[in-house]
Structures are given as structure tokens and as C-alpha cells.
Structure 1
Amino acid sequence: MSAGPGLPGALAHLEPLLDKGGYAALALLVGLDNALIPVPGQTMLIVAAVYAGTGRMNVIAVVLVAWAAATAAAEAAYLLGCRQGSALINRYGHYVRLTPQRYARAESFYRRRGTSIVCAARFVDVLRQTNGLLAGANHLPHASFSAANAVGAAAWAGAWTALGYGAGTNIGPLYREAVRYQLLLLPALALFLALLLARGWWKRRHRQPQDRASAS
């Protein structure tokens, strides 16, 4: 089973693995890529979608396998975050200036905005691998995480499958543009989070004098 010529290097390098492993290889790489291990799971999904576009795989099966693997892997990372995330942060957080006070503020922010982050995380490298752990460590309610996780995984699997399926072996230019825009998303998201944290800090700072005045 081969997708034929036309795939760029990063995609073509995964063809032998997909040829031999099929859906199991797709599930493995997508699962690892959604649970802390930065392997090319997203790239494998695109290759599988290209295969589906040429009739070598079933497009519905590709979407379902990718969705199930991504969802289950992030759930496992969430459980790890619930059990070990806080301990890891308390032990190693000071190396990155994450004090208990700052962690408490981050935890409050994640509880309020966490579902939005989980939904969008699949489309941003680094967040795709860590969003389950971070959600668990910050005690996002399990029901909220599971719902957002399933929706985000479905959107991610569906979007990349549609792109690969529709483009076929002409995926190269589209894939390079998509990756370029993905790289722009990470600093944009970091800036958005920083602005939200600054807004919360500003409100607390101005609320404290009012609270002291009311108390007196």
C-alpha cells in the first residue's frame, strides 16, 4: 500500500510505517502525540487521510481511529495530571519561577478558561501533547475536561483528515502553509493567556484598596 509520488519529505517518511502498520500505526502515533510524547502523530493522520483519498484506507475509519486514540490518550494524561501533576509542579516549579502563589492563580484561571484551552489545544504543538496533563494538574473538573477533550479531538481529526483526503498527493504546499500558521498560533495563544492573567492581576490590585476601605 503506497500513496505514490508527490508527498513532501516529512509525510513520505511515514509511508512505510503506515504501509506495514495500517490503522494500528495510526492509532499508536496519534495516541502518543496526544499524551506527552512529541511523535509525528498529526503528520501520520495526514498521510492516512491521503491514503483514504486514493482508496487505500477508509476515510471514516481514519477519522474514528484518530479521534478515539487522541481522546483516550489525553484522558490518560489527565489522570496522570490529577495524581502527580501538583507534586511535580511543587517539586520542580521553582526552577521556572512557578511559586505556590502563582500556581494557585494559574489553577483558578484554568478552572475558568480550561475548557476553551482543551478544545483548541489540539491545533497547537506543545499544547497538543500537554493539555491533558495541565488540565489534570490544575483540577479542571473531569466531566468538563472529557467533553472538551472529545470535541477538540473530533475537530482536530476531522479537519486534518478533510485536508489530506481532499488534497490527495498534492497535500505538500497546503501542509507547509498549515504548519506555518500553526507555528504562529503558539505565541498568539501565549500572548492571549498573558493578557488574561494581567487583567486578573489588575482587578485584584484595585479591589484590595476597596476591600480595606470597606472593612474600616
Structure 2
Amino acid sequence: MFEILSAPWLHHAIQAYGLWALFVVVALESMGLPLPGETALISAAVYAGTTHGLPIAAVIGIAAAGAIAGDNLGFLIGRRIGLPMLERYGRHVGFDKGRLKLGQYLFLRHGGKIVFLGRFVAFLRAFAAVLAGTNRMPWPHFLVANGLGGLCWSTLFGVGAYLFGQEIHRVAGPVGLVVLASALLLVVLATHLLRRHEAEWTARAMAALPDDAR
């Protein structure tokens, strides 16, 4: 059953290195690398449930730790590298001063929701932390939202995979399609709202975040 629910390299990595493999894959994905962190969590939980080779509490805890550690490194990368690059070169790709301020303003007001919910959406799971750092989200707020998101995510998927085993394989496809369709719909709606109100929101952002605000 475990072989069915995991990619071959994940299967071998978890069998050979156990929780270390889970931590590394989840942490690297959370930093922004295109790795299957959620698949690693599900695979490790199924392995724990079918072989009892790993304790499920440790699987959940290590996955949460990897998510939190990787996200904080991603946040630091965004703050130290992403923000200076956008400030210097952003105007060449459409990110002028107004749009940069707008992104910072949106993360200031809604960053916690973006970071928490982003843990459950594949694309945002890899980039939410970097975006939060780039857009100057206050680190204490990021830490709380990130910690809650990581714990809820690892518990939900870890316990689900542990309890249901092969059944999760049957529902993963339909559920994934629903989540993807919902995420795309939200992106379309958000883009429409942004274009419609960009000038107004940018003016608010420029007023709320003067140049000397850090």
C-alpha cells in the first residue's frame, strides 16, 4: 500500500532515512523549492500506519517543524534578497514603487490569512513565506500564522493518511481538483478586484507606508 501512495524516490528515502527525509523535503519545499512536501507527509503517515515503522506523533511533529523552519528561512530570503531585488529591478518587470507598496499594504492587512491558508495550497505553500518576507510582513505576525498553519496542516494530512491509508488515494484526485479549481477561481477574482481598485488601494498604501517606514 505504501508503494502505491508515494513516488519511488520518496518511498526509498523514507524507508532509508525516516523522519530526516520527511523534515528535509518539507523544509526545502517551504523555502520555495519545487518539492512534494505534502506527498512526503502523506507517504510517511501511510508508512507509519501500515508498517508501524514510524510513530505517527513523530511524523506530525517533524512535518510541522520542517514546515515552520523552512518557512522562516523562506521569509528571511524574501526579506534579505527578494525585497532589495524588487526595489532595484522591479520597475523593469512592472513592479513600480506603487505596486511594491501595494503588496506590502496587502500583506500588512491580510498577511496572516495568506500565510495560514497558503499552507494548504500547493503553489502558495512554496512561496507564501518568501512573499511575506518580500512584502515586509511583521515577523511576529508571520511566526504565529505560520506556526498555526504548519501544525494544522501536518495534523490534518498526517492523521488523515494514517487512519485512512489507501482510501486517501481514492479521494486525493477529486479533492485535489476541487482545491485547484477553488484556488484558480480565487486568483481570478482577486486579479479582477486588484485591477478595478488598484489606483485606490495604491493611494492608501502610499499614505499608510511612507518611504521611511520599515
Shorter-chain TM-score: which interval? 0.7 to 0.9
**2:175 matches 1:171:** no
Judge conservation of contact 1:18–1:25 (CA < 8 Å) in 2. Answer: yes
Read off the aligned partner of 1:150 and give its amino acid letter: G
Per-residue deviation at 1:169?
Answer: 2.7
**2:67 matches 1:70:** yes
Read off the aligned partner of 2:108 and give its amino acid letter: R
- Candidates 101, 104, 120, aligned match of 1:104: 101
Q: What are the residue-to-residue correspondences of 1:143-158 with 2, within 5 Å?
A: 143-158=140-155
**2:159 matches 1:162:** yes
Q: Secondary structure at the match of 1:179?
A: helix
Per-residue deviation at 1:179?
Answer: 2.3
- Candidates 129, 132, 145, aligned match of 2:129: 132
Task: Please identify the structure whose Cα radius of gyration is greater.
Answer: 1
Judge conservation of contact 2:23–2:62 (CA < 8 Å) in 1. Answer: yes
Inter-partner Cα distance in structure 1 for 2:2 and 2:201: 59
- Candidates 37, 41, 45, aligned match of 2:37: 41
- Candidates 16, 19, 26, aligned match of 1:23: 19
Judge conservation of contact 2:2–2:11 (CA < 8 Å) in 1. Answer: no
Read off the aligned partner of 1:125 and give its amino acid letter: A
What is residue 182 of structure 1 aligned with on the other side?
179
CA 1:91–1:25 in structure 2 vs 1: closer, same or farther (change >3 Å)?
same
Read off the aligned partner of 2:103 and give its amino acid letter: A
CA RMSD of the aligned region, Å? Answer: 2.4
Judge conservation of contact 2:68–2:147 (CA < 8 Å) in 1. Answer: yes
Runs (5+) with no aligned partner, structure 1: 208-216
TM-score for the superposition, normalised by structure 2: 0.85
Q: Deviations over 1:145-194 (max 9, x none)?
A: 00000011111111111221122133321222232223224313313433
Q: Secondary structure at the match of 2:54?
A: coil
Read off the aligned partner of 1:190 and give its amino acid letter: V
Inter-partner Cα distance in structure 1 for 2:166 and 2:47: 9
Q: Secondary structure at the match of 1:88?
A: helix
Judge conservation of contact 2:98–2:202 (CA < 8 Å) in 1. Answer: no
Read off the aligned partner of 1:47 and give its amino acid letter: S
CA 1:159–1:4 in structure 2 vs 1: closer, same or farther (change >3 Å)?
closer
Number of residue pairs aligned between Structure 1 and Structure 2: 203
Per-residue deviation at 1:63?
Answer: 0.5
TM-score for the superposition, normalised by structure 1: 0.84
